Amino acid sequence: MCGFKPSFKRITIFAGHYGSGKTTLSINYALALKKRMPEAPVAVCDLDIVNPYFRTADYEAVLSEHNIELIAPEFARSNLEIPAIPAAAQKIFDNKSLYAVIDLGGDDRGALALGRYAQRLMEDDYEMLLVANKFRPLSSEAKDLAEIKNEIESAAHVKFTGIVNNSNLGGQTTPEDITGSAAFIQRLSRETGLSIKMTAVSAAPPGTPRGWPRITPPGWDEGFFIINTNLGGYNI
């Protein structure tokens, strides 16, 4: 699942603009973490209280299959649109042996949910990654996404530590789309002062040339994170 060698923090947060792919990354990252450390307890925490329609709770079965705990709002598995922070989220900070992946809501409104844990988070071993997709509306320019980053940090009272390049067009993504996002993601890195942690790409289909998707564009030092976009029967 991984085309890179990550140094896992105890708490990893994926945040960014609406529709940037945070949930997809959160699930896949937790699965990769569990694969690397099968004896360690791993949990995915759904703190996306903004978007009730596309949530980590929809993938409870695949997480359970891999012995990954899901921490989600009580109403996440219903059709009720009630913003709520899961009470069990507290265990992320109380249980120091637990590795947690947090799926944070879009933009500054969603980041407010993290604010109540800011002090404890800053004292812990954490990483907060800005998820960037240059093909999404309102975040196709580095300066716009840099502004979104600042708004999220202000609301969450927590600083980002890196960037994930998740530029894609869903099932229509080509290798050229990924390599063509190099200039955008490098501009974003310069604008924010954040390093590029990794670039997410979908699993290569049968018959794909050997060079894809681990082809590394010139000047890129980060590795590729190969994600599965069809987990549990859901196309994510």
137 contact partners, CB below 8 Å, separation of at least 6: none
Residue among 69, 145, 79, 151 at smallest CA distance from 114: 151
Residue 126 pLDDT: 95
Angle (CA) 103-45-123 rounded to 5° is 90
Q: Which residues of 132-150 are buried (b: 16+ CB within 10 A; e: fewer)?
A: bbbbbeebeebeebbebbe
Residue 172 pLDDT: 86
- The domain total for the chain is 1
Q: Provide the residue range defining the domain that includes 198.
A: 2-235
Q: Which residues of the chain have pLDDT under 50?
A: 1-5, 54, 76, 78-82, 204-221, 232-236
Residue 87 pLDDT: 74
Distance CA 121, CA 2 (A): 26
Distance CA 86, CA 144 (A): 31
Residue 222 pLDDT: 54
Distance CA 71, CA 27 (A): 12
Residue among 83, 86, 63 at smallest CA distance from 74: 86
User: DSSP of 86-125, one letter per residue?
Assistant: -GGGGHHHH-TT-EEEEEEPSHHHHHHHHHTTHHHHHTSS
Contact 28, 1 (CB under 8 A): yes
Burial class (CB in 10 A: 0-12, 13-18, 19+), 90: middle
Residue 56 pLDDT: 63
CATH number at residue 230: 3.40.50.300
